[in-house]
Amino acid sequence: MTKKDEILTSAQVADMLGISMGNLAARRHRGTGPKYERIGHRTVIYRRADVERWRESPTVEDSLDNRVARLEDEVTELRKRVDGLARKRR
């Protein structure tokens, strides 16, 4: 098996793209993320070649999706910080 044929998990792809797994799942449901395959009802896999091809050919829509995904990640992190600070004050 060559590196291009390598099978990746959702966690590996999210890390590779610098987005959260939730955002990767949202892209999968919207049809704006990399090509994927489903094994059974729960297991989702990606082929490295498909992820790299998707990453190397961004579209205008994808650029907007990337910005939205980054902002959603930032909001999630800020909420975690606020929750942590609120717990410390109690």
Residue boundaries of the structural domains of the chain: 3-89
Helical residues (DSSP H) of the chain, grouped into ranges: 10-17, 21-30, 48-56, 60-89
- Note the pLDDT of residue 66: 72
- Would the pTM count as exceeding 0.85? no
**Terminal CA-to-CA distance of the chain, rounded, Å?**
55
Interatomic CA distance for residues 89 and 82, integer angstroms: 11
pLDDT in tens, 27-82: 898 888 999 999 988 899 999 999 999 998 866 566 677 777 778 888 888 999 99
Cβ–Cβ < 8 Å for 12, 47:
no
CATH topology of domain 3-89: Arc Repressor Mutant, subunit A (1.10.10)
